Structure 1
Amino acid sequence: MRDRMKIKDIRVFTLRSDSIVPRGFWEERLVRPVDIYERFRVEEPYPLGEEGPFEQRFLEVIVENCKERGIFGPVSYRTAEIVKTQLKPLILGEDPFSVEKIWDIMYRSQIHGRKGETIIALSAVDCALWDFIGKVKKEPVVRLLGGPVQEKVPAYASMLGFSVNPEDVAKRCVEYVNKGFKAMKWFFRHGPGSGSKGVEENLKLVKAVRNAVGYDVELMLDCWNSWTINYAVKMAKKLERYEPAWLEEPLMPDDIEGYVKLRRKVEIPIAGGEHEYTRWGAKELLRRGAVDILQMDVTWAGGITEMRKICALASAEGVPVIPHAGWTEPAQCITFSQPQTVCPMIEYLIKHSVIQQAFNKEKLKPKDGYFYAPRKIGLGFEPQMDKIVKEE
């Protein structure tokens, strides 16, 4: 069968439903780099999924003489367009098992797309190919990667979208500790543009967490690229007493020198790399000692094929990899294929996962604060194909 296998098409299909979450589901948003400008700073959370109709796009790799299909998604409209117009023509006729060759062809063809949306599109194709290979082999992708190396991995509760009002924070913390989580991440709402009042609001958030659940629960804090180095140093000095496990993405992704300087000035470990791309992006962060924890996203940084290389680079430098997990299934494949010393934890974006898995037949959630090694073939998810409304 392998000798006859060639990629015949990459199809984009759209699934549609009514609103999938109730109004008010998104209680608060995170701080953003553009919030230095007041007109953006006052914007409310975007009500994603709260209004219908709600649609998501998926990729489907179709192979000659094979009934199995490699599927990945949801993907954005722009990702789908890049795949259809720029990447698909390059790899039609290629052997779908030749992931290294296909990755190299796509990467070499995109000189002006070495970072950002083009690499995200490349990542989507790569993940769909791995899903296909797993289905043909009748194996979970993690098995194809040499795993599972770990049988269970602690998940941390990522609290994006929850209210940061101190009373609400305290209730949520207790709720998720009672569900078995031993670590959680909260997202700051304020940056330099909010002045001293914003500093106090940020501190109230962290204080509320510690007052609610004490210090036995690990606490991570996300700044989402929205602080300056001076603001970050000032905040870090105030936050050190609360013993955060890490301070995440305090600076813009391209300010690598700023990350290096910040690490020298503060005691809190610095996490970053979520918005970096490919092994070359990882190499620069590692070479310059910019981060204590590397957080590159499997579905943005180059896919499963590339993320294996990124993990190898990080392991050689002794830097743990805790991938940003906007898409839970690929993050699991990588995490469970690595030792605990390389990938010690996995992110569970509580509210975002509802959106990401909106059309999954089965929802993937931690059990008592842990994810367990994947057992389903391929990437391990199956979309609700009865909701399909469009094929391209």
Structure 2
Amino acid sequence: MIQAKISSVRMIELSALIPEDSTNRGFPPQSRAVSVYNQYHPADGWPAPAGPRRKTSLYLEIGTTAGVTGRYGPIDQEAVAPLAEGMASSLLGLDALANTFIWDMLQRGNRHSRHGNRKIAISAVDNALWDLRGRLLGVPVWQLLGGSGRTRIPAYASTLGTFHGEGEVEETAARLLEEGYTAQKWFFSDGPAQGPEGMERNVALVQRTRETVGERSALMFDAFMSWDLQYARRWASRVEHLRPDWLEEPFPAGAIESFSQLRASTSIPLATGEHLYDRHDILPFLQRGLLGVLQVDPEWCGGTTDLVRMCAMAETFGVAVIPHGHGIHAALHVVASQSPEVCPRVEYLFHHMPERHYFETDTPTPHGGSFALPTRPGFGIEFAEDRIKESRDVFAAS
């Protein structure tokens, strides 16, 4: 029997100056929840920072009496306060392999643990413990979760950060198709506050992408909680004949009645989940048949432990789970361990993932539109020491 007690918990911050990127044009305009106020919706997007800029990333490390350390990251800043203010120290002395007990203890330990920053912190702990277990046993996390019947995991290309200028949509859509992606997701630039002109741009985005890829690629579209029911119905009636494969987060995550009414009025499948943090949150969406795809995030919803439970729930209702692509490590391993019917693919934000995992070596990267199964123990997160210019402990408990 393996004996491994948790002996330390620390959050480390890695940083370095990244040279100016002459190709970085900044961030294009994207419809967001706050875009209901037109003054908070920059028509030309957000400009690129001038000159070199500092890149920082947070990683959680959990040490044990067995001499093996589990690691996960990058971690969101929102997780730091709950961990530093008592959650980390509550782990000391516990059995590092008791993932389910630790998850349950942390969930029950505070009345606000079901949502928000505390749930993000629980997710970080859970994922670090899964990495620790894999390192102790010398196998990847997907093997711990039951193995895999696949040799490669398909990905869809998420185009967040792509400008919609003349020819740019068409060039990007065609390039992704050529690279082997059989599905791609696009982000709307406008919502109700941008008026009829914004609606025309949102309709045109569907037209332009469908004309480019034809029937050779699935096409999905993300409104990022920035629409209302009337607006979503008008858009759907305009583009339904172009067969979008889903409309993602047209409304705030808790707006179940809006989802229900839109679902009843269009054949376009609906998707949501990245801002649903709990099994109780997703259950009414499943029970009422509102979703074509559930998109919970393993770095926000409670980690690998609860993502696997949510997959089992969704499978019962015949709903596919494609985890939100905030990171890639936990999502890839969970999807690899599930049936292709339950988890058909992962999301890959090709503009953002290389920099998000800047301080890591050999970060999982798709080739030909799919990932090879990871082979390193745990999640395989190792640091590229030559890229790290500074490292400090944000907090440490031991």
TM-score bin (small chain): over 0.9
TM-score (norm 2): 0.94
Question: What's the secondary structure of 2:300's corresponding residue?
Answer: helix
Moved over 4 A (4+): 46-51
TM-score (norm 1): 0.95
Deviation string for 1:105-161 (max 9, x for gaps)? 100012123111211111011000000110010000000000113222221110000
Task: Choose 147-156 or 22-31, whichever is displaced more.
Answer: 22-31
State whether structure 2 residue 12 is matched by structure 1 residue 10: no
Question: What's the secondary structure of 1:113's corresponding residue?
Answer: coil
- Hey, what's the Cα distance between the residues in 2 that align with 1:49 and 1:108? 46
Match of 1:390 in 2: 392
Match of 2:278 in 1: 278
State whether structure 2 residue 95 is matched by structure 1 residue 59: no
CA change 1:348–1:49 in 2 (3 A) is: farther
Match of 2:140 in 1: 140
Match of 1:42 in 2: 42
Aligned 8 A contact 2:78 2:120 in 1: no
% identical equivalent positions: 33
Task: Choose 39-48 or 297-306, whichever is displaced more.
Answer: 39-48
What is the CA-CA distance between 1:358 and the residue it aligns to? 1.1
Deviation string for 1:16-40 (max 9, x for gaps)? 1112672525441421000011221
Deviation string for 1:47-80 (max 9, x for gaps)? 589852211111000112x232111111122312
Deviation string for 1:321-345 (max 9, x for gaps)? 0111211110011101100110011
- Hey, what's the Cα distance between the residues in 2 that align with 1:96 and 1:360? 24
Match of 1:184 in 2: 184
What is the CA-CA distance between 1:81 and the residue it aligns to? 2.2
Match of 2:95 in 1: 95
What is the CA-CA distance between 1:45 and the residue it aligns to? 2.9
The AA in structure 2 aligned to 1:170 is: E
Question: What's the secondary structure of 1:361's corresponding residue?
Answer: coil
Question: What's the secondary structure of 1:351's corresponding residue?
Answer: coil
The AA in structure 1 aligned to 2:211 is: N
The AA in structure 2 aligned to 1:19 is: I
Question: What's the secondary structure of 2:186's corresponding residue?
Answer: strand
Deviation string for 1:252-277 (max 9, x for gaps)? 10101211111111110001111101
- Hey, what's the Cα distance between the residues in 2 that align with 1:102 and 1:25? 44
Aligned 8 A contact 1:59 1:71 in 2: yes
- Hey, what's the Cα distance between the residues in 1 that align with 2:138 and 2:268? 44
- Hey, what's the Cα distance between the residues in 1 that align with 2:205 and 2:166? 6
- Hey, what's the Cα distance between the residues in 2 that align with 1:147 and 1:193? 48
CA change 1:258–1:20 in 2 (3 A) is: farther
Aligned 8 A contact 2:25 2:47 in 1: no
Aligned 8 A contact 2:182 2:369 in 1: yes
Task: Choose 182-191 or 355-364, whichever is displaced more.
Answer: 355-364
CA change 1:156–1:112 in 2 (3 A) is: same
Aligned 8 A contact 1:150 1:338 in 2: no
CA change 1:359–1:25 in 2 (3 A) is: farther
- Hey, what's the Cα distance between the residues in 2 that align with 1:341 and 1:49? 46
Q: 5+ residue gaps in structure 2? A: none
RMSD of the alignment, in Å?
A: 1.8
Match of 2:299 in 1: 299
State whether structure 2 residue 199 is matched by structure 1 residue 199: yes
Aligned 8 A contact 2:364 2:374 in 1: no
Match of 2:260 in 1: 260
The AA in structure 2 aligned to 1:55 is: T
Aligned 8 A contact 1:20 1:49 in 2: no
Larger % of helix: which? 1
The AA in structure 2 aligned to 1:18 is: L
- Hey, what's the Cα distance between the residues in 1 that align with 2:102 and 2:225? 32
Match of 2:357 in 1: 357
Match of 1:287 in 2: 287
Question: What's the secondary structure of 2:299's corresponding residue?
Answer: helix
Aligned 8 A contact 1:321 1:344 in 2: yes
Aligned 8 A contact 1:183 1:218 in 2: yes
The AA in structure 2 aligned to 1:11 is: R
> How do residues 331-370 of structure 1 correspond to structure 2 at under 5 angstroms?
331-370=331-370
CA change 1:50–1:95 in 2 (3 A) is: farther
